[in-house]
């Protein structure tokens, strides 16, 4: 049996060290990563919850509170925290893991930080694959926290079974701007820091937005919360569970198409080196009739 197959067996038996190793191999496309992705048996019934929203909305604090509630109920939780990329080594800055330090020693919790590595949509380019690796570990819940980059963060809809959008009362002036973008992706709204001025008016505006959407079999809840006090956490977990049980994932085909597109894109770009391109272009520039489009066409 190959080393990778042994690693996969250990992963599916609940070995956290094997899980961490598999994630490292997949994230960095080390030898054996394709074998891992094509061989693992992952459970699609494990709910993947995307927590998204603008910077400063209190996503990490809310996730801390959700993790505490779930682990108090003996549930296991895998967390993927998408961090901004370090400009020096392209690694994760680990900010979210530091904020979740209280859960480090909890055997029911596994937290992994991933660097965005230039992704503008709030997700690491490898997040989709790593979520599937974590689904092979049989967590009760998988939570993905994105960096909070605004409307371009809508790509989380292609990843999560349930998308939770966290806002704060100060977001009130931005509702109209958000309406056509990130507001459209939420399955659950949480208005955090709702003890601040203007919270009730802001919540009413969100409710009106929700009611203006096309009718469906899922009524989008708007939850009033104060994450630092644990308020609204019970309602949020209840909403996530209800959404999962209802089994409405109209995004399933979108999710799979998004995955397939990214996989094809990654495969097509393999072997393309910017350094090599630069050298070839420097050589081609010596010709007076250089044309970039002819140059690119000649590479195909």
- Do 12 and 51 lie in one domain? The reply is no
- Do 103 and 10 lie in one domain? The reply is no
pLDDT higher at 215 or 160: 160
- pLDDT for 179 beyond 70: no
- Do 72 and 182 lie in one domain? The reply is yes
Is 264 within a domain?
A: no
Q: Could you identify the residue written with the tokens 């809508």?
A: 154
Q: Tokens representing 286?
A: 């010596």
Query: What is the Cα–Cα distance from 43 to 134, expressed in whole angstroms?
Result: 9
- Do 83 and 163 lie in one domain? The reply is yes
Other Cβ atoms closer than 10 A to 116: 22
Is 265 within a domain?
A: no
- Do 34 and 82 lie in one domain? The reply is no
For the ranges 230-239, 267-276, 287-296, the maximum mean pLDDT occurs at: 230-239
- pLDDT for 90 beyond 60: no
Q: Tokens representing 134?
A: 């974590």
Question: For the sheet containing 109-115, what is the strand order?
Answer: 109-115, 77-83, 141-145, 48-52, 162-167, 188-191, 222-224
Is 278 within a domain?
A: yes
Q: What is the pTM of this model?
A: 0.81
Q: Tokens representing 259?
A: 């995955």
Is 20 within a domain?
A: yes
Q: What percent of the chain has pLDDT over 70?
A: 76
- Do 47 and 36 lie in one domain? The reply is no
- Do 53 and 196 lie in one domain? The reply is yes
- Do 292 and 177 lie in one domain? The reply is no
Q: Tokens representing 121?
A: 């949509």
Q: If you average pLDDT over residues 31-38, what whole number do you get? A: 92
Other Cβ atoms closer than 10 A to 58: 20
Q: What CATH number did the domain enclosing 154 receive?
A: 3.40.50.300
Is 209 within a domain?
A: yes
- pLDDT for 20 beyond 90: yes
Is 52 within a domain?
A: yes
- Do 290 and 203 lie in one domain? The reply is no
- Do 276 and 220 lie in one domain? The reply is no
- Do 109 and 135 lie in one domain? The reply is yes
State the pLDDT at residue 178.
Answer: 56
Is 145 within a domain?
A: yes
Q: What percent of the chain has pLDDT over 90?
A: 40
SS3 string of the chain?
CCHHHHHHHHHHCCCHHHHHHHHHHHHCCCCCHHHHHHHCCCCCCCCEEEEECCCCCCHHHHHHHHHHHHHHCCCCEEEEEEECECCCCCCECCHHHHHCHHHCCCCCEEEEEEECCCCCCCCCCCHHHHHHHHHCCCCCEEEEECCCCCHHHHHHHHCCCEEEEEECHHHHHHHHHHHCCHHHHCCEEEECCCCCCCHHHHHHHHHHHHHCCCCCCCCCCEEECEHHHCECHHHHHHHHHHHHHHCCCCCHHHHHHHHHHHHHHHHHHCCCCHHHHHHHHHHHCCCCCCCHHHHHHHHC
Query: What is the Cα–Cα distance from 106 to 193, expressed in whole angstroms?
Result: 27
Q: Which domain range does residue 15 map to?
A: 1-40
pLDDT band at 104 (very low <50, low <70, confident <90, very high): low
Is 250 within a domain?
A: yes
- pLDDT for 267 beyond 90: no
- Do 276 and 248 lie in one domain? The reply is no
Count of structural domains within the chain: 3
State the pLDDT at residue 151.
Answer: 41
């Amino acid at each position: 049996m190959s080393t990778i197959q042994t690693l996969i067996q250990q992963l599916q038996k609940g070995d956290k060290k094997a899980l961490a190793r598999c994630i490292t191999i997949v994230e960095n496309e080390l030898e054996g990563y394709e074998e891992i992705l094509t061989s693992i048996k992952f459970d699609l019934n494990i709910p993947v919850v995307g927590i998204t929203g603008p910077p400063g909305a209190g996503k990490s604090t809310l996730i801390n509170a959700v993790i505490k509630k779930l682990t108090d109920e003996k549930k296991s939780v895998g967390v993927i925290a998408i961090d901004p990329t370090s400009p020096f080594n392209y690694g994760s800055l680990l900010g979210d893991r530091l904020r979740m330090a209280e859960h480090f020693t909890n055997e029911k919790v596994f937290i992994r930080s991933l660097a965005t590595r230039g992704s503008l949509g709030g997700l690491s380019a490898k997040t989709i694959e790593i979520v599937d690796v974590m689904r092979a570990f049989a967590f009760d819940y998988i939570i993905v926290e994105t960096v909070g980059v605004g409307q371009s963060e809508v790509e989380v809809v292609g990843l999560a079974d349930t998308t939770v959008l966290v806002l704060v009362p100060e977001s009130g002036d931005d509702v109209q701007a958000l309406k056509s973008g990130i507001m459209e992706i939420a399955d659950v709204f949480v208005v955090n820091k709702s003890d601040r001025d203007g919270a009730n008016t802001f919540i009413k505006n969100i409710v009106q937005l929700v009611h203006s959407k096309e009718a469906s079999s899922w009524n989008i809840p708007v939850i009033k919360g104060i994450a630092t006090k644990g308020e609204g956490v019970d309602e949020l977990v209840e909403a996530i569970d209800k959404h999962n049980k209802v089994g409405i994932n109209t995004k399933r085909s979108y999710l799979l198409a998004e995955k397939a597109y990214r996989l094809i894109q990654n495969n097509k770009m393999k072997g393309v080196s910017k350094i090599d391109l630069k050298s070839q272009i420097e050589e081609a520039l010596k010709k007076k009739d250089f044309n970039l489009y002819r140059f690119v066409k000649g590479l195909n």
